[in-house]
Amino acid sequence: MTSNPVTIESGTPISVVIVDDHEVVALGLAALLQDADGIVVAGIATTGADALGLIEQVDPDVVLMDYRLSDGTGTEVAQELRDRGARPHIVMVTAVADRRVLSQALDAGCTGFLSKNSDRSDLIDAVLAAAAGESYFTRDVLKHLVHLRRFDDVGHSELSDRECEVLQLTADGLFPDEVARELHLSPHTVKNHIRHAMAKLDAHTKLEAVVKAVRARLISIDD
């Protein structure tokens, strides 16, 4: 992913809660985000129970959620937040891109996936994308997602050349504004192409459209 995919309005910083059962790791993530323009770390929780209380209290825009917690899993916390109607976008942070974990995270409404080995630019990109309501995934994660049975039905797969181009660039890690610049289109036109592709592929999200396009061999994630 490239840096700064989202323009942050002045005076409206993105608030982030970090959930990790290793406090040193959580503090490390916080330190990486602390100096990023337009991002504020609103708090740290080390258990699922503490996370639920903290998120209810500070109402963050984004939650960086570790999968393994001492009192359960991050996906369980994410599901509880979803059941409560909480608003934050959740980025699941995993040590390994395990297909079972990814499937559970999708079920729980997570919109982003980040490896614990990710660098600072990836971390910031994930927060910015999540805050803007965009899915965030790396190519390694995408390679696992294409094998999930939940994406078996690819729907009507006759996409236009332009729709395929847009989804290919999305799979390559570009955000809508970047796709627009690459193809010399307006961001509105890019979003329309994505929406049309989603309808044709019977996809509910942009991420699902990308995965289904890969499975239908309309785009590629080969190195």
CATH number for the domain spanning 97: value is 3.40.50.2300
132 and 183 housed in the same domain: no
85 and 22 housed in the same domain: yes
Amino acid 157: pLDDT: 67
- Distance between CA atoms of 95 and 222, rounded to whole angstroms? 23
Does residue 7 lie within any of the structural domains? no
86 and 134 housed in the same domain: yes
Here the CATH number for the domain that contains residue 189 is 1.10.10.10
Contact partners, residue 85, CB within 8 Å, separation at least 6: none
Amino acid 6: pLDDT: 45
Amino acid 165: pLDDT: 97
The pLDDT tens digits of the residues spanning 109-138 come to: 898 998 888 889 989 999 999 998 888 988
Residues in the chain, pLDDT under 50: 1-8, 10
Does residue 62 lie within any of the structural domains? yes
- Distance between CA atoms of 98 and 14, rounded to whole angstroms? 29
Domain count within the chain: 2
22 and 128 housed in the same domain: yes
Mean pLDDT taken over the chain: 88
Among candidate residues 108, 138, 168, the one where a domain is terminated: 138
Q: Provide the token pair at 119.
A: 């660098």
- Distance between CA atoms of 76 and 219, rounded to whole angstroms? 33
pTM of the model: 0.84
Does residue 113 lie within any of the structural domains? yes
Strand partners for 93: 66, 114
18 and 78 housed in the same domain: yes
Amino acid 3: pLDDT: 38
The residue among 62, 191, 44, 46 whose CA lies nearest residue 126 is 62
- In this structure, which amino acid lies at residue 17? V
The pLDDT tens digits of the residues spanning 93-109 come to: 987 778 888 888 888 98
Does residue 2 lie within any of the structural domains? no
Does residue 9 lie within any of the structural domains? no
What range defines the domain where residue 167 resides? 149-215
Segments of 1-154 assigned E as strands? 14-19, 39-45, 62-66, 68-69, 72-73, 89-94, 112-115
